[in-house]
Structure 1
Amino acid sequence: MSTDIRDDTRAGFTELFGREPEGLWSAPGRVNLIGEHTDYNEGFVLPFAIDRRTVVAVGLRDDRVVRVASTIADEVVEIDLADLSPAVLNGWPAYPLGVVWALGEFGADLTAVPGLDLFIDSDVPLGAGLSSSAAIESAVALALNDVWQLGLDRRTLARVGQRAENVAVGAPTGIMDQSASLLGQVDHAVFLDCRSLESELVLLGLSEAELAILVIDTGVKHSHATGGYGERRAACERGAAALGASSLRDVTVDDLPRAQELLDDVTFRRVRHVVTENQRVLDTVEMLRSEGAVAVGDLLDASHQSMRDDFEISVPELDLAVETAVQAGALGARMTGGGFGGAAIALVRLGDLSRVQVAVDNAFGEHGFGQPDTFVVVASDGAARN
């Protein structure tokens, strides 16, 4: 994160609210190395926090009003804490204000805490599948935990962010994004069991291996609050119920022949993606520990094929990005995030970065797609006070 964003956030707060903030807090976006749509199925995921962050400046008030503003919108949204509920939230303010509401669900006495002024800035791309939403939620949750002296731990703050996104925003997402944003560490991925919420840091060792993660932002915007995401989640729940499982976490690769007999074709393919993706996460963790990141390319490729064919959440731009990156020398590539747009990632040797970027740019031009934004991300620390 550049000091410019911190300076801009502080200056924006001061200009708008006429005083200095209590402090600045920030939280990163994330790249999911592997494990897509497994989180809400109580499975396994392997994301890492990235060096793109959302910053929030916070000032306490002497009344019960919360005001929130951001560089992404001209409006200042104001609401009394007594009137705060998911029913009255919409648009981008639902993310920070949803966190305020959700903290009340996790023990904060919203009748006793003071009001707040919040100003938000970010360099996490919006709608790119890098979880700009969780970056907002995590930064705000950590900030309010501090200024309201709530004493909640980071795993609980991740649940607060998820609750805000599920109820206030209306997106039926799992807990992966908030966990990565709050628990990440430099050069490590967060291996998260989404059933127990136990997590473990796994060394990536990318720079030592002379590798990089290249993000290819297609520019195709997506939203988890739209129907496709919810439809996939509902199909997973139907499949688990038909198989007599509480969630797809309890279904293994060996169960797939029986699943194919019991389920319609679409539901079966949704189930097959989640079950095989869970196994790919476990295999990736084992590969990272035993052979290093250079060995995981084929697993990334298989993950994308599963999302494209079985879960059907890719789009032509993502498929082109993945195919072109691999043809140009990437060790592996896959779309990342919830799908229906957003970004792909490619595991690339440092010496091949320029060739892969040029190849992707040229391929998008030849297909008449808008120019993609390509950039390297580095595994970074999670949310912090700045």
Structure 2
Amino acid sequence: MTDHAEQHASPTELTASFTELYGTAPEGVWAAPGRVNLIGEYTDFNDGFVMPLALPHTARAAVARRTDGELRLHSTDVPGGVVQLRVDELAPHAGHGWAAYPAGVVWALREAGHEITGADIQLSSTVPTGAGLSSSAALEVVTGLALSDLFGLGLTAAELAVLAQRAENAFVGVPCGVMDQMASACCTDGHALHLDTRDLTQRQVPFDLAAQGLRLLVVDTRVKHALGDGAYAERRAGCEEGARLLGIRTLRELPYAELGTALDTLAASGADESVVRYVRHVVGDNQRVEQVIGLLDAGQVRAAGPVLTAGHVSLRDDLRVSCAELDLVVEAANAAGALGARMTGGGFGGSAIVLVEESQADTVAKSVQEAFAAAGYAAPGVFPAVPSAGARRLV
């Protein structure tokens, strides 16, 4: 197994590279993590429930204020020089590649009435990109936290998350829900975050797998299928259409006990077959979050495994956002003795999570890797998901 988290640039190293790049020392260094979502997928933009946990992998930012309106951005992970922008000229959908994520946060802060007069930012991240582990949210949240601290904005973690989501929605143009940013901003060490995305109420749920003799593996398939382009937005629109046909504001308002009747109503109304499937998945996954919460509260973590697998089946068959590689992870892991497994994140590639007995972790990981080799796929990355702290200042 590998662990990208071990490759973090230290605050001292990031401070040194900032100083070399910009000719002056930063005012501090901040970190914000990526995440995996234990259960509750495509529910956040339906005002539903999610249950992510932060990874030890983080985006880190060394930052210093400017007063001349200049925004200078550099990443140690991306080839190329410093991206130079003017804060008063930032505009949505203007491109900028990776730099759109931190630039979008500056734009969102200014749109919210906060006086951001410029900044120099040096970024470094160990969150794998394209793996469905919210590398973009980590960039957004770490930028927002640094600027809130430096400019004395006093924003709460939840307020930072909402601003970061606005940056991704309105500036970058990705219609994501708020889960990724809330996870990066609000998760705590040793816990999963039970988040109600309707009102952003949250509960930190103890999730000490090691104490139970368990491990949660992340399997990064290292693939991203082009089919995913635009598919997220199409599913969001389908969910909104389902809610409209049912006469409710969002699918969160449909109780699980009434799902069967609602699906019959949709079919009778001539709703598109895909809309019926999307509704079934979202309402079902809200219920699965509640199931997992109940099992964790009862100390029955192992019993959550089949719920994870059921979530994957729904994502594969109803939402249709899985792919051959993700399906193979779930199939091979469960066949090798895993307690349960499912894709996590937006799908069409990216990562899956696997709940295993600690004693079986290496065997299951090897079985998945052998299955990929037999199928002719590139070797996946496998590492443990250790519930970690949310965004914070390092120095």
TM interval, shorter chain, is over 0.9
**Deviation for aligned residue 1:224:** 11
**Deviation for aligned residue 1:105:** 2.7
Partner Cα distance (1:6, 1:316) in 2: 40
Q: Is the 8 A contact 1:138 1:178 kept in 2?
A: yes
1:170 is matched with which residue?
173
The question of 1:357 aligning with 2:369 is answered: no
The question of 1:258 aligning with 2:247 is answered: no
The partner residue of 2:156 within 153, 157, 160 is 153
1:14 is matched with which residue?
19
Aligned ranges 1:335-354 → 2 under 5 Å: 335-354=343-362
The question of 1:4 aligning with 2:9 is answered: yes
Partner Cα distance (1:138, 1:192) in 2: 17
2:386 is matched with which residue?
378
Partner Cα distance (2:226, 2:183) in 1: 19
Partner Cα distance (2:284, 2:111) in 1: 35
Structure 1 residue runs without a partner (length 5+): none
**Deviation for aligned residue 1:14:** 1.7
The partner residue of 2:103 within 97, 100, 114 is 97
2:65 is matched with which residue?
60
The partner residue of 1:127 within 117, 126, 130 is 130
Deviating more after overlay: 373-382 vs 257-266: 257-266
The partner residue of 1:216 within 219, 230, 241 is 219
**Deviation for aligned residue 1:259:** 2.2
The partner residue of 1:240 within 225, 239, 243 is 243
Structure 2 residue runs without a partner (length 5+): none
**Deviation for aligned residue 1:115:** 1.5
**Deviation for aligned residue 1:60:** 1.6
**Deviation for aligned residue 1:76:** 1.3
Mark the CA change 1:8 to 1:224 in structure 2 (over 3 Å): closer, same or farther: farther
1:102-155 CA-partner distances (Å, limit 9, x unpaired):
11233313xxx3321001001110010110011111111100000111111111
1:323 is matched with which residue?
331
Mark the CA change 1:223 to 1:77 in structure 2 (over 3 Å): closer, same or farther: farther
Partner Cα distance (1:9, 1:360) in 2: 36
2:112 is matched with which residue?
106
* Counterpart code for 2:145: L
* Counterpart code for 1:27: A
**Deviation for aligned residue 1:292:** 3.2
The question of 1:77 aligning with 2:83 is answered: yes
Give RMSD over aligned pairs. Answer: 1.5
SS of the equivalent of 1:119 reads strand
The partner residue of 2:147 within 123, 144, 147 is 144
1:56-110 CA-partner distances (Å, limit 9, x unpaired):
010122411000010232131111111112143431111000000011233313x
TM-score normalized by the length of structure 1: 0.96
* Counterpart code for 2:101: Y
2:201 is matched with which residue?
198
The partner residue of 1:23 within 19, 22, 28 is 28
Q: Is the 8 A contact 1:171 1:224 kept in 2?
A: no
Q: Is the 8 A contact 1:184 1:382 kept in 2?
A: yes
SS of the equivalent of 1:165 reads helix
Partner Cα distance (1:293, 1:222) in 2: 33
Partner Cα distance (1:225, 1:135) in 2: 21
Q: Is the 8 A contact 2:131 2:220 kept in 1?
A: yes
Mark the CA change 1:223 to 1:14 in structure 2 (over 3 Å): closer, same or farther: farther
Partner Cα distance (1:370, 1:142) in 2: 37
Mark the CA change 1:166 to 1:258 in structure 2 (over 3 Å): closer, same or farther: same
**Deviation for aligned residue 1:311:** 0.1
SS of the equivalent of 1:208 reads helix
Q: Is the 8 A contact 1:172 1:225 kept in 2?
A: no
How many corresponding residue pairs? 383
1:146-187 CA-partner distances (Å, limit 9, x unpaired):
011111111110001100111111111111011111111111
**Deviation for aligned residue 1:209:** 0.2
Q: Is the 8 A contact 2:223 2:349 kept in 1?
A: yes
Q: Is the 8 A contact 2:259 2:280 kept in 1?
A: no
**Deviation for aligned residue 1:309:** 0.2
Mark the CA change 1:225 to 1:10 in structure 2 (over 3 Å): closer, same or farther: farther
**Deviation for aligned residue 1:18:** 1.5
Q: Identical aligned pairs, as a percentage?
A: 47
2:317 is matched with which residue?
309
Q: Is the 8 A contact 2:344 2:351 kept in 1?
A: yes
* Counterpart code for 2:382: T
Mark the CA change 1:88 to 1:264 in structure 2 (over 3 Å): closer, same or farther: closer
Mark the CA change 1:222 to 1:337 in structure 2 (over 3 Å): closer, same or farther: farther
